[in-house]
Amino acid sequence: MVPARVRFIHRSGFSEAVATVGFTFTIRFIMVGPVRKSRRAHWNWLLLLPALGLMFPGVYARTAPQLFGFPFFYWYQMGWIVLTSVITGIVYFATRTRA
């Protein structure tokens, strides 16, 4: 490998470093200020509900009660598919930015 020049470009200017790679490349850094969490970020916690609801199949791995002839195991999971879509929609509309 041939030592190559790596340029780090900052808003304030240039600084160079030497790396052991076979080519020259440039890395651009965008300096941003501290990230502030908005109050909308709390809505994302709702996305854990489907994972928690389906994480332990021993809780819902049974046949009774049946719904339209389907054992509880199947309709419980199908219900979570519908509920997950609703939860995802709620989180999306609650957290989107209106630009």
Residue with tokens 């630009």: 99
Model confidence at 95: pLDDT above 80: yes
Task: For residue 39, give the 3-state DSSP assignment.
Answer: helix
Q: Which alpha helices (DSSP H) does the chain contain, by range? A: 48-54, 57-60, 72-95
CB 91 within 8 A of CB 47: yes
- The pTM assigned to this predicted structure is 0.57
Q: What is the pLDDT of residues 75-86, one digit of tens each?
A: 999 999 999 999
- Give the model confidence (pLDDT) of 5-15 as tens digits: 555 555 555 45
What are the sequence ranges of the domains in the chain?
1-31, 39-95
Contact 23, 6 (CB under 8 A): no
SS3 (DSSP) at 82 = helix
Q: Is the dihedral of CA 28, 31, 34, 36 positive or negative?
A: negative
pLDDT band at 34 (very low <50, low <70, confident <90, very high): low
